[in-house]
């Protein structure tokens, strides 16, 4: 799921990572919005508000929206930087550190969120946007830009294009690739939606502690991949 990169990746690997990370993003999206009334998984809307505040000469409000964008960018940069550094040591474990940081951020916000909502709700938005930038960059890098999990605009665009192409491309190989791609897009959209529903339902009972579901999901993903890698290495040693 995480460890396979480049030519080693299959459609199955992409479906697995898409399911896990889009589910987490769906939880973060809804929990963040219900907590602080801000989008916390993408920055498209924030850019529009940033420009709007500048035109109104409300520079402090504009700075806040700029910081939303900046923290998503910073998460993306940090994730890619860590992957580059770690891949030079052991590429099998490049995903563990960025994913662990995301888990840590979600856990900290889950436990300190109620206090932050009273004192500085923007810190919640900054933290979650950083975590989602981290996640989006990692999955984009691992999947060779095939999978993106934190927002749906591009996904619905790609889905519309690929569904329309099914009416015109009749070659079996091309149609198989299109069907595989459509399946991937629908998987991401579905799990984002499921994560959103789960996030909304549980938020009404436990508030920002719902983010712990995202943390646990990521930890289980790391454990699953680590165990599989260990088994694979043991099998290789056994054969040799």
DSSP-derived letter for residue 190 is H
Q: What is the pLDDT of residues 18-52, one digit of tens each?
A: 889 999 999 999 999 999 988 888 888 888 889 99
- CA–CA–CA angle 90, 92, 93 (5° rounding): 80
* Fold of the 6-239 domain: Growth Hormone; Chain: A; (1.20.1250)
Write the CB contacts of 38 (distance below 8 Å, at least 6 apart in sequence): 32, 46, 68, 125
DSSP-derived letter for residue 210 is G
Which residue stretches of the chain have pLDDT < 70?
Answer: 1-10, 91-93, 145-146, 149-150, 239-240
In this prediction the pTM is 0.89
C-alpha of 80 from chain center: 14
| Cβ-based neighbour number of residue 89 at 10 Å | 9
Q: What is the pLDDT of residue 12?
A: 77
d(CA 89, CA 176): 37
Each domain of the chain, given as residue ranges in start order, spans 6-239
Q: What is the pLDDT of residue 7?
A: 57
């Amino acid at each position: 799921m995480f460890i396979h990169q480049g030519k080693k990746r299959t459609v199955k690997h992409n479906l697995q990572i898409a399911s896990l990370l889009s589910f987490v993003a769906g939880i973060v999206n809804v929990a963040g919005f219900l907590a602080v009334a801000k989008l916390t998984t993408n920055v498209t809307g924030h850019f529009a508000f940033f420009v709007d505040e500048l035109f109104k000469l409300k520079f402090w409000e504009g700075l806040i929206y700029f910081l939303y964008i900046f923290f998503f960018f910073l998460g993306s940069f940090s994730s890619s930087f860590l992957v580059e550094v770690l891949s030079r040591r052991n590429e099998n474990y490049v995903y563990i550190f960025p994913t662990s940081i995301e888990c840590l951020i979600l856990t900290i916000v889950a436990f300190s969120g109620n206090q932050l909502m009273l004192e500085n709700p923007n810190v919640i938005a900054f933290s979650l946007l950083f975590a989602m930038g981290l996640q989006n960059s990692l999955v984009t890098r691992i999947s060779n830009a095939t999978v993106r999990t934190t927002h749906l605009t591009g996904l619905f665009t790609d889905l519309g294009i690929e569904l329309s192409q099914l009416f015109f491309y009749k070659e079996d190989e091309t149609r198989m690739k299109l069907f595989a791609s459509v399946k991937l897009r629908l998987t991401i959209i579905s799990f984002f939606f499921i994560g959103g529903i789960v996030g909304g339902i549980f938020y009404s009972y436990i508030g920002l502690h719902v983010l712990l579901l995202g943390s646990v999901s990521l930890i289980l993903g790391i454990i699953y991949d680590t165990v599989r890698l260990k088994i694979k290495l043991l099998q290789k040693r056994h054969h040799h």
